[in-house]
Structure 1
Amino acid sequence: MKFLEYTPFDSINLFLDNLDLGDCTIRGNLEAFSCKHTGNDRRLSISLEHEILDCLGKSSDSDHSSPVEHLSCRSSRKTLIYLVLTLSHMYPDYDFSAVRAHLFFKEEEWESFREMIDTYLSEASQQWAATNDGTSLLDSMTNVIDEVIKIRESDIYSYNPDQDGDPFLEKGVM
């Protein structure tokens, strides 16, 4: 995956870089990546593909539409590999190569996911609105993301790690 410079993200990233909300601090950003594998991604992708096929005990190249849990389908294996590669790019100091499909959950629909994000970012949204002529943080984020991908037409996955797969539970992480 190749990082893509996309300047419309800059104002939101500047806002989310180190947002002090009193009880908590948000450090986040929006990033865009191409789905084309780079050298390291290609090696990890091939390795994960072989590992998945070894676990299945067979090689299936059927390409039926299916969720990630059905890894006998090539499209599902590909989705899992993209999710693992995305995590690896988000947290480059952590090894996600052992992450399994059952730790990813496909969000049912955009509107319920949007409501969840809006709840998490409610305090941040108030600060954003105060400094951005009353505009909504979530609407601003959605608009710039829609310029890169059509978010309402995309599959959205959540990662719910077990204790061994959470980079924030490692010794020394605060």
Structure 2
Amino acid sequence: MKFLEHTSFDSINDFLNHVNLGECTVSGNLEAYSCKHTGTDRRLSFSLENQILDSLGQSSDSDRSSPGEILSSRSSRKTLIYLVLTLSHIYPDYDFSAVRAHLFFREEGWESFKLTFDTYMFETAKEWAEANGGSTLLESLYKALDEVVKLSECEIYSYNPDSDGEPFLEKGAIWAFNFFFYNRKLKRVVSFRCCCLSNLAVDGFISDELSDKEDAEIFDEMDM
């Protein structure tokens, strides 16, 4: 997978870098990746494929947690591997299991994405409109995504892991969502993720860090 720079994402990423809403702060990011494998990707892809095939061989019809028919086709396995590879590039320190990851991915449509966006990003969208002459954040997002991955040709997936599979929730997180837009023809994936952090929790975390640092400095100055 290769990170792709697209200027069409710049204004949205700059805005979503830090949106202070008073009691909380929203941050988000759009990233595009080519599905062309690097040397590391080939090894990881091979490992993920073997994980899935081993799980398919061990699974039973009554085992709802197994990949089952969902990953029985080469095409569906390939899609999952691309999505997991994208996650691995975004969070290189986290070890994603393909067998577990398939439980957390769900195929969506634009309307379900829009519903999630409208639910969580309402106040953020108001800030965007005020800063951009009344233009809507969702329309700007649609235009940018369409330019990079042609939404009419995309499969859309949400990623909703349990706590053990969630590498990106920071301290004080109130909510987070993660979507992937995959265009098979272009062999390209765009990740869009947003997180909302409590400013009170973050401020408390910083205060704790400063207090710990001050305590450490006091002990360093004491004669033991």
Bin of the TM-score, shorter chain as denominator length: 0.7 to 0.9
Aligned to 1:100: 101
Deviations along 1:19-72, one digit per CA (max 9) or x if unpaired, are 1111221221111111111122111111000111112229xxxxxxxx995212
Equivalent residue, structure 1, for 2:26: 26
1:121 is matched with 121
- Mapped to 2, the partners of 1:101 and 1:93 lie a distance apart of 19
Aligned AA for 1:155?
A: E
- The answer to whether the 8 Å contact 2:9/2:144 transfers is yes
Matched, 1:3 2:3: yes
Task: Tell whether the 8 Å contact from 1:68 to 1:77 is kept in structure 2 after alignment.
Answer: no
**Paired letter, 2:141:** M
TM-score by length of 1: 0.85
User: What are the Cα deviations for residues 81-131 of structure 1, in whole angstroms up to 9, with x where unaligned?
Assistant: 111112112222221135331221111x21222122122111111011001
Structure 1 residues 5 and 122, CA gap change in structure 2 (3 angstroms): same
CA change 1:26–1:55 in 2 (3 A) is same
1:129-169 Cα deviation digits (max 9, x unpaired): 00101000010011011101112331111112122111146
Separation (CA, whole Å) in 2 of partners of 1:68 and 1:86: 23
Tell me the distance in 2 between the aligned counterparts of 1:153 and 1:118: 23
Higher share in helix:
2
Amino acid at match of 2:15: F
Q: Given that residues 103 and 161 in structure 1 are in contact (C-alpha distance below 8 angstroms), is that contact kept between their aligned partners in structure 2?
A: yes
| Amino acid across the alignment from 1:33 | Y
The aligned residue for residue 54 of structure 2 is 54
Change (3 A) 1:36 1:24: same
1:91 aligns with 2:85: no
Aligned partner of 1:39 in structure 2 is 39
TM value normalised by structure 2: 0.67
Larger RCO, structure (CA 8 Å, separation 6 or more)? 2
| 8 Å CA contact 2:56, 2:68 repeated in 1 | no
Structure 1 residue runs of 5 or longer lacking an equivalent are 59-66
- Give the structure 1 partner of residue 197 of structure 2: none
Find the residue that maps to 1:28 and give its secondary structure. Answer: strand
Give the Cα–Cα distance (whole angstroms) in 1 for the partners of residues 145 and 69 of structure 2.
Answer: 27
Distance in 2 separating the partners of 1:56 and 1:8: 41
Structure of greater Rg: 2
Give me the identity figure in percent. 64
Q: Are the aligned partners of 1:12 and 1:141 in contact in 2 as well (CA < 8 Å)?
A: yes
The root-mean-square deviation of aligned C-alpha atoms, in Å, is: 2.0
State the aligned residue count. Answer: 162
Give the secondary structure class of the aligned counterpart of 1:135.
coil
Structure 1 stretches of 4+ moved >4 Å: none
Tell whether the 8 Å contact from 1:69 to 1:76 is kept in structure 2 after alignment. no
